[in-house]
Amino acid sequence: MKKFLCIVLAALTILSVAFVTGCADKNPAATNEQTGTDTAEPEDTEIKDDLPEVNYKGATFRIIAPVTGGASEDIYTEDHETGDALHDAVFQRNAAVCDRFGIKLEVTTDEYSNVTSSIMTSVKAGSDDYDLCWVHMVSGAALAQSNLVLPFEKLPYVDLSKPWWDSSIKQGFSIRNNLMMVNGDISPISFSITSCMYFNKTMFNKLDLEYPYELVREGKWTLDKLFELTKDVTHDEDGDGKVTNDSTKDVYGLSSWYLDVPYSFYYAAGGMLVSKDQDDVPFYDPQLERDTEIYRKIYDVIITNNAYMETVVASFPNVSKVFADGRALFLDAKLATAEELREMDNEFGILPVPKFSESQSDYRSFVNGASSMICVPATVKSDSQREFVSIITEALASEAYRTVTPVLKETYLKRKITRDSDSADMIDYIVRNRVFDMAYVNMHDGVGSYVRDLLASKTADITSTLKRYQKSAKKKIESIVKAFDKSLEG
């Protein structure tokens, strides 16, 4: 589906927001070494993008995006405001950029798998069909390995040092200091797919437990604390003498999904399977001692404490339903899941995923592979094309920083969804330090999934698994580097 967004701005008032709290990755956690308390500094939304003043006299900027996820919140296709705060902020962002540079946006949407294949087909055929692409993070990674997208360093007006670009993506996507896919304020949907924890306040009250908010603020919200809180919660409630996933009454300390919780816990605890050398070249770097300790704590919370961990794909909705029904003390999910819990009878709160230990400097949040990323097809070749694409891309990102993100956080996340000011405060901890790992992004069904596979099989020891993966993982990383190097030659 292709749609033109011809923006008329005569009567449009651009939303202005005077205040915004700390945002993902642009505000690294400042840790007080004496107290262990995380602090945040306010952002400056007046930072300028330093783009040249140019009018493209009605030129079309062509975008392709997934009809779900990327297009639905990152680049709405309606040519009018709807009254929804986030939608209208994105609309106003688009309108401001169109007006500033004299362009119109042409948006093509399709299912995410079709978007990736359309880009591949277009570039391989040498067609000049798209200027900017929103892609699924995991499936889109194949584009970077196939010489089909440009390094953003070849786009002269995209300034990756600016706060509207997510600097932490370098760990997962950069090779030799070149990024093929990026993210940041240009993609509000990516914030909502960031991992977090929910807790049932009603159950906490019945168990006479203090809400964990202060633990978070003091840097004491850890896997050990989660283990302690969930230790004696799981129990048989339907009277059949056992706790089973198909019960509609049994109660759990934690409800989780096997494609989410292994990753969110592992990365929150400081795990990372790929490291970089001094030239920003990745290499497989399993650290057995560290990962063994991380896995042991995850195993205790999930397996030892008999958490609800759904492994049947068709039963995925049960994960949030168990929590919504008041049958789980905690839920591991993503920020967007809060929408599903709005009608929940029990009160709930939101927390970051716990750290490995109090000595860990910050809370880290896994970004689900369904997150959208942006890339530029390799068919954008001429200097004039690259100038045009980079100016509009940078403008869409910088304008989102000023217009969309404040609305996303203050209205959509902090007021529309959350039920209390403490949970709203926790969102800043959740989105402050998001992490990306090349092993997850590029080896999703292989070495990047070992925690998931071991938990599903209730295996306690990870040593033999990591050793077994070493040879194949090393080859895979080397092949990725080769593919990136080929892209850099273009």
Q: Is 445 within a domain?
A: yes
Is the Cα dihedral 5, 10, 12, 15 positive or negative? Answer: positive
Residue 453: phi, psi to the nearest 5?
Answer: -65, -40
Number of domains in the chain: 2
Q: How many residues does the chain have?
A: 490
Q: Give the whole-angstrom CA distance, residue 388 versus residue 394.
A: 10
* Pair (137, 51) in one structural domain: yes
| 230 burial level (CB within 10 Å; 0-12, 13-18, 19+) | buried
pLDDT in single tens digits along all 490 residues of the chain:
676 665 443 333 333 333 233 333 333 333 333 334 454 444 556 789 999 999 999 999 999 999 875 566 798 877 889 998 889 999 999 999 999 999 999 999 998 889 999 999 999 999 999 999 999 888 888 888 788 999 999 999 999 999 999 878 888 788 888 888 999 899 988 888 899 999 999 999 999 999 999 999 999 999 999 999 999 999 999 888 889 888 899 999 999 999 899 999 999 999 988 889 999 999 888 788 998 999 999 999 999 999 999 999 999 999 999 999 999 999 999 998 998 898 899 999 999 999 999 999 999 999 888 888 999 999 999 999 999 999 999 999 999 999 999 998 888 788 778 778 898 889 889 987 888 888 787 766 555 678 888 898 898 888 888 777 777 788 888 888 887 777 666 5
Q: Is 428 within a domain?
A: no
* Pair (182, 223) in one structural domain: no
* Pair (111, 253) in one structural domain: no
Residue 400: phi, psi to the nearest 5?
Answer: -65, -40
Q: Is there a contact between 460 and 271 (Cβ–Cβ < 8 Å)?
A: no
Q: Is 425 within a domain?
A: no
* Pair (345, 387) in one structural domain: no
Q: Which residues contact 129 (CB under 8 A, 6 or more apart)?
A: 62, 64, 118, 122, 377, 379
* Pair (294, 306) in one structural domain: yes
Domain CATH code at residue 230: 3.40.190.10
Q: Is 267 within a domain?
A: yes
* Pair (129, 97) in one structural domain: yes
* Pair (320, 404) in one structural domain: no
* Pair (13, 138) in one structural domain: yes
* Pair (133, 168) in one structural domain: yes
Phi-psi region of 386 (alpha: psi -120 to 50; beta: other; left: phi over 0): alpha
Q: Give the whole-angstrom CA distance, residue 100 versus residue 200.
A: 47
Q: Is 422 within a domain?
A: no
* Pair (303, 448) in one structural domain: yes
The three-class DSSP label of residue 462 is: coil
Is the Cα dihedral 264, 267, 272, 277 positive or negative? Answer: positive
Range of the domain at 164: 2-192+368-417
* Pair (271, 377) in one structural domain: no
pTM (two decimals): 0.84
